[in-house]
């Protein structure tokens, strides 16, 4: 399945969050799961238990530094397409139907 | 922690989703966790592992009937307010600051 | 249509957001649109332009005080049910299918 | 500001949504706004009114074909960084703090 993880630390006193989010992205990068970082969160591909264990580590790391965390996990799961590779196939399928390359 | 669960079955061929969503709400109601049903999802209060095990049961039940599911899990977790009861305290705190009852 | 508005001010230095969120809920309450406050955001019912004008006022009020705002607008729009009243009808329809009252 | 647009047509009877979503991405591509397509939605950069007018066109196009649409608009707005280019600067800032290139 695919899951978009968006982590927002609260109460840090700064409008910039990239220091704390670098910790989160490092955990995702080290997880071994395939991922894509975007401007509004990171999409991860894997099984439910793998992704949720990773999400919990991201929550724990954030609450180590911040008093509060908001986190959105947006899931897209298809039993008719159980294999890996949807993280790239979705955008390729869009491009094929639009008939031109899209900005990624 | 609090988590808003929003489950969207895909590919059922009907604009009405309430039959499938009744299964999801029944699972939430039977979980023993405190919850509030709203027009755009159900908020659940509990520990990470309790809520994520429930979310997985909701995913599994939906994929039993539909080929695809979109699910959003919106988390609000505070280490400075670890106790239970935030599911009602948040709205009460808002009402106290607004100075009048709000429509719930 | 229905829209769940969830506003998160960033960089205020406090884990508690209820002071700023009271401003947001006051704007919603004064809009004249039907709404329901929940533990994870407020659902509003109205036409696209009405709801988006309200959302913009909530954004502006938050940025008056905070340097940054994260805002999630979750929309559910049906052309086969254009009338008003979905804000209560959705939960009633769920309750009818579950066969018992649900916690709201 | 940045906004992640995620459009989910409901009731089309198919688990595949890419045909309808190609329409949405074409509207975004033709808008003239800077954007990045990802596996879980498209992030757009622009002013509030530009982005919301585009989001409305995406809603209208989807409801032309489907009876119901779920749409999530996730906004990140900073008054301390009003200029353009945040759509690439956010990920670059993360990479600088992580100290290595990230998969995009």
Find the mean pLDDT for residues A8-27.
Answer: 92
Rg for chain A, CA atoms, rounded? 15
| pLDDT value of position C77 | 97
| pLDDT value of position C83 | 79
> What residues contact B32, with CB distance under 8 A and at least 6 apart?
none
Q: Which residue has 């890419």 as its token pair?
A: D18
- Interhelix angle B48-65/B18-30, nearest 10 degrees: 150
- A43 close to A36: Cβ distance less than 8 angstroms: yes
* Closest in A52, A77, A78 to B52, CB measured: A52
Find the mean pLDDT for residues A68-95.
Answer: 93
- The chain-wide mean pLDDT, for chain B, equals 95
Find the mean pLDDT for residues A47-52.
Answer: 98
Measured between CA atoms, how close is B83 to chain D, in angstroms?
29
Per the CB < 8 Å rule, is C13 touching A8? no
Measured between CA atoms, how close is D74 to chain C, in angstroms?
4
Spans of all domains in chain B: 2-98
- How many Å apart are CA C9 and CA C13, to the nearest integer? 10
* Closest in D52, D68, D76 to C52, CB measured: D52
Per the CB < 8 Å rule, is C97 touching B2? no
Query: Which residues of chain C neighbour D63 with C-beta distances below 8 Å?
Result: 77, 79
Per the CB < 8 Å rule, is D37 touching A103? yes
Phi-psi category of residue C41: left, alpha or beta, with phi > 0 → left and psi -120 to 50 → alpha:
left
Q: What is the pLDDT of residues B37-86, one digit of tens each?
A: 999 999 999 999 999 999 999 999 999 999 999 999 999 999 988 778 99
Query: Which fold, D2-98?
Result: Alpha-Beta Plaits (3.30.70)
Query: Which residues of chain B neighbour C74 with C-beta distances below 8 Å?
Result: 6, 40, 72
pTM: 0.97
| pLDDT value of position A9 | 95
| pLDDT value of position A15 | 87
First to last CA, chain C: 20
* HSE toward the beta carbon, residue B27, CA cutoff 13 A: 20
């Amino acid at each position: 399945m695919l899951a978009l993880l968006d982590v927002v630390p609260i109460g840090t006193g700064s409008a910039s969050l990239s220091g704390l989010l670098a910790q989160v992205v490092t955990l995702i990068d080290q997880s071994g799961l395939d991922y894509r970082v975007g401007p509004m969160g990171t999409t991860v591909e894997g099984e439910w238990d793998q992704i949720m264990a990773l999400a919990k580590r991201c929550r724990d790391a954030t609450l180590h530094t911040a008093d509060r965390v908001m986190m959105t996990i947006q899931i897209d799961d298809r039993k008719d397409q159980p294999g890996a590779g949807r993280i790239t196939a979705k955008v390729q399928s869009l491009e094929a139907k639009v008939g031109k390359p899209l900005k990624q």
